[in-house]
Chains A and B, each alone.
Chain A
């Protein structure tokens, strides 16, 4: 079956530091890949997505490239801010059963950014 593996957190960085959160996946076929972010007390928000190999998703300074050869989708940001403190989830969807709404999520990585 499908699975997503994320690096363990928490990740603690100083403001303006470079961020990388690793994500690898196992799936049959050609899944779409996503990063979601969850702020305290809230639901998940879609941060970025990529639907095919070598696609780069980007949003709010965050980037991730769909690497089929290494089955990875690592999240990066060049300069983090305190407001980026949240839990980040890597996820995949392979459009089984006639829907892309069945996402497989990683365990989440908590990011804490300090001044």
Chain B
């Protein structure tokens, strides 16, 4: 069974630009979550989508947005990039987002903002 796939693996963008990251969950998984990992702040929850609806979100500015498609694939968008957005962005999928369904993480997209 294929794991969670994130594309691209690496991105370099300039301050002020926008970026879109993609995540394909494990087949059959309907919940997709996004996390930001930085050396200073650690792992922080961005948002979770289930059946194309955002079900929960963390404390990030509105520049961070996402969506989920009918096939459960998800995209995350960051507009007006800032230097502090440089991070590893991790996507995780689970069957339904319940406690009985563990999160499976992808290998992440490393975003560098210059």
By a beta-carbon cutoff of 8 Å, the part of chain A in contact with chain B is 32, 34, 36, 41-46, 49, 51, 89, 91, 93, 95-108
Query: How many inter-chain residue pairs (CB < 8 Å) link A and B?
Result: 73
Q: Is the CB of B107 within 8 A of A41?
A: yes
Partner of A102, one of B45, B102, B107: B45
Shortest beta-carbon distance from B5 to chain A in Å: 11
Q: Is the CB of A101 within 8 A of B31?
A: yes
Q: Is the CB of B97 within 8 A of A101?
A: yes
Q: Is the CB of A101 within 8 A of B103?
A: yes
Q: Is the CB of B105 within 8 A of A43?
A: yes
Shortest beta-carbon distance from A32 to chain B in Å: 5
Interface SS majority for chain B:
strand
A43-B99 contact, Cβ under 8 Å, with A97-B55, A107-B42: no
Q: Is the CB of B48 within 8 A of A102?
A: yes
Shortest beta-carbon distance from A38 to chain B in Å: 8
Tell me which residues across on chain A come within 8 A of B48, comparing CB atoms: 99, 101-102
Interface size on B, residues (CB 8 A): 27
Tell me which residues across on chain B come within 8 A of A43, comparing CB atoms: 4, 90, 92, 105-108
Q: Is the CB of B105 within 8 A of A45?
A: yes
Excluding A41-B107, A95-B99, A100-B94, 4 further A-B contacts by CB distance (< 8 Å) are A42-B107, A43-B106, A102-B45, A108-B43
Contact with A along B44-57 (1 / 0, CB 8 A): 11001010000110
Q: Is the CB of B56 within 8 A of A46?
A: no
B6-52, CB < 8 A from A: 31, 33, 35, 42-45, 48, 50
Q: Is the CB of A99 within 8 A of B43?
A: no
